Chains A and B, each alone.
Chain A
């Protein structure tokens, strides 16, 4: 079974600076999908970025980018030019092509942005 681990329960960053959230996963599959979700205080789950394992190029969405290291099974999220609205719980998630719609989530990292 796949597992996803986020080893940083809490992180903080100064506004306008850069922060990196860590995620590692364990799988024996070669093809899969990885995601970062943001959960603000409203509790809504918001997709931030996705990465297909067969793509070597790291995904980027505006200020959000990932460092995908397939051999190391690592999938970190970098937030550049942090804004107050980035403060939220961030979840890393894994999906196997064979698991239907099931997402396997990490424990979450609570990000605080200091003004």
Chain B
């Protein structure tokens, strides 16, 4: 089954404790993105990747890091999480930049 998976689905952590949210797709897609969803703001892109070892900033990259060492994986790293990073996070992938985006199930992150 073609899908985008994210882990964990729920995470509660404390300020400053490094964490990684994993994202994996099995569709051999080139493009992958991370978004965060906040009430009243919709979804905003954090980072995106056009292929292995190629990444670029989206609209709200501050406080986040990404890497793309393998085509199927695109982890999101928060090296020193802060409460303002409490949000719902989505990973998405598409075959091409203009192709339909497939979204993962979301990760609910709470930073206390």
Task: Flag if B106 contacts A91 (CB, 8 Å).
Answer: no
Task: Flag if B43 contacts A103 (CB, 8 Å).
Answer: yes
Q: Is A30 an interface residue (CB 8 A)?
A: no
Assembled-state Cα–Cα distance A47/B56 (Å)? 25
Assembled-state Cα–Cα distance A30/B109 (Å)? 38
Within 8 A of B (CB), among A74-115: 91, 93, 95, 97, 99-103, 105-108
Assembled-state Cα–Cα distance A50/B100 (Å)? 9
Assuming the A-B contacts A44-B103, A95-B98, are A101 and B33 also in contact, with contact meaning beta carbons closer than 8 angstroms in the complex?
A: yes
Contact with A along B73-99 (1 / 0, CB 8 A): 000000000000000101010100111
Assuming the A-B contacts A44-B103, A95-B98, A97-B98, are A102 and B42 also in contact, with contact meaning beta carbons closer than 8 angstroms in the complex?
A: no
Assembled-state Cα–Cα distance A44/B88 (Å)? 11
Closest-by-CB residue of B relative to A95 is B98
Does more than half of chain A's interface fall in helix, strand or loop, or is it mixed?
loop
Task: Flag if B94 contacts A101 (CB, 8 Å).
Answer: yes
Assembled-state Cα–Cα distance A78/B81 (Å)? 41
Task: Flag if A101 contacts B103 (CB, 8 Å).
Answer: no
Q: From B33, B56, B98, B106, give the contact of A44 (CB < 8 A).
A: B106
Within 8 A of B (CB), among A25-56: 33, 42-45, 47, 50
Closest CB of chain A to B8's CB: distance in Å? 14
Q: List 23 A-B contacts (CB under 8 A).
A: A6-B42, A9-B40, A42-B105, A43-B105, A44-B103, A93-B43, A95-B98, A97-B98, A99-B97, A100-B48, A100-B50, A100-B56, A100-B97, A101-B33, A101-B48, A101-B94, A102-B33, A102-B45, A102-B58, A103-B43, A103-B92, A107-B41, A108-B40
